[in-house]
Amino acid sequence: MSGVVSALSRLGLWGRGAVIAMPFLWLLLFFLVPFLIVFGISFSESIVAQPPYAPLVGWLTDEESGTTKLQILLNLTNYLRLTGDDLYILAYLNSVKIALVTTLLCLAIGYPMAYAIAKADPARRGPLMMLVILPFWTSFLIRIYAWIGILKSNGVISNLLEWTGITSGPVEILYSDWAVYIGMTYCYLPFMVLPLYSTLEKMDPTLLEAAADLGCRPLKAFLTVTLPLSLPGIIAGSLLVFIPAVGEFVTPELLGGPDTLMIGRVLWNEFFANRDWPVASGVAIALLLVLVVPIMIFQYVQGREAEER
């Protein structure tokens, strides 16, 4: 009897282990292994071959003694190029700038949206959130192309401005940093609204009543009670926008001008135009390191929030 029980409990343990192992296996296969490959390539040398980089590890046969030695070649020039060439540093800085502006714009637009939805009649919250998520049902590329039609000279905005007489000629917003900000803010807004909404919706409304009861005016109550309590949502939303925005490629490629320098575009160029895989890998690794810091902050905040609950 006890044998059966222990066998069952062992099976239960095994089953639990299997459930936990699945995501780990997934991450190992599709994140850690590719990452290590890219990390390896970043130390290699670019050659004209298929694949276009020199192997890191090789066997070196000494002709005279006939002995074979293991040879590992680590090439750091790729990383030196990253620090040496202005292009990469400028691209990084510009990416961070664009991502920051996008995050702030998303926060400025997303907070009132999330607040209004969280305060709406419970029956209306579902449909309103549905509207926030609705754009995801259309292909991302199509939505960006739609923005081209809106932003180009003689596009919707340009014609509207001309028609109302605010401007005398056509206005070109497309192919500028502003077009990138508009496109990226539009794309990432739901990622800001969702976590903000979930923290604001959970907030106990009697806290605001308590603040009012103690003599606090509504605006001050918002600043001293609502805002600090929604901080986890602000941080989560900001990171969800900032992290992918730094590495964004498609939006700046399609909406940005030739001088909209972003690390994602540099990466693309190195891989596909220059076919310099080692440098591209170096750029990718450096980008990852830049992003690891905010990701770790995100993890820490989430962990702390989970602890409090």
Partner 1 sequence: MAGQPLRKPTRLEPWQDAGQAPYVRIEKVTKTFGDFVAVDEVSLSIYRNEFFALLGGSGSGKTTLLRMLAGFEQPTEGKIFIDGVDMSGIPPYERPVNMMFQSYALFPHMTVEQNVAFGLKQDNVPRAEIRDRVAEMLEMVQLGAFGKRQPHQLSGGQRQRVALARSLVKRPKLLLLDEPLGALDKKLREKTQFELVNIQEKLGVTFIVVTHDQEEAMTMSSRIAVMNHGVIAQVGTPTEIYEYPHSRFVAEFIGSINMFEGRVVESAADHALIASEEAGCELYISHATPAPTGTPVVVAIRPEKIALSKEESPDAAGRNSAKGVVREIAYLGDVSIYLVELPTGKTVRVTAPNVTRRTEMPITWGDEVYLSWRPFAGVVLAQ
Instruction: Catalog residues that contact partner 1 under the rule CB under 8 A.
Output: 204, 206-207, 209-217, 220, 224-225, 228-229, 308
Which C-beta is closer to partner 1: that of 19 or that of 309? 309
Which C-beta is closer to partner 1: that of 8 or that of 207? 207
Q: How far is CA 115 from the centre of its chain?
A: 23
- Is residue 76 exposed (0-12), middle (13-18) or buried (19+ Cβ within 10 Å)? exposed
**Long-range contacts for 55-64 (Cβ within 8 Å, ≥24 apart)?**
none
The minimum distance between CB 217 and partner 1, in angstroms, equals 6
The minimum distance between CB 298 and partner 1, in angstroms, equals 20
The minimum distance between CB 305 and partner 1, in angstroms, equals 12
Largest CA distance in the chain: 92
CA dihedral 225, 229, 235, 236 (to 10 degrees): -140
The minimum distance between CB 219 and partner 1, in angstroms, equals 11
Which C-beta is closer to partner 1: that of 169 or that of 205? 205
Measured distance CA(221)–CA(209) in Å, rounded:
9
Which C-beta is closer to partner 1: that of 28 or that of 223? 223
The minimum distance between CB 223 and partner 1, in angstroms, equals 12
Measured distance CA(198)–CA(236) in Å, rounded:
11
Half-sphere exposure of 287 (CA within 13 A, CB side): 29
Cβ atoms of 132 and 193 within 8 Å: the answer is: yes
Which C-beta is closer to partner 1: that of 62 or that of 307? 307
The minimum distance between CB 104 and partner 1, in angstroms, equals 23
Measured distance CA(145)–CA(254) in Å, rounded:
8
Nearest to 225 by CA among 243, 244, 206: 206
Which C-beta is closer to partner 1: that of 142 or that of 214? 214
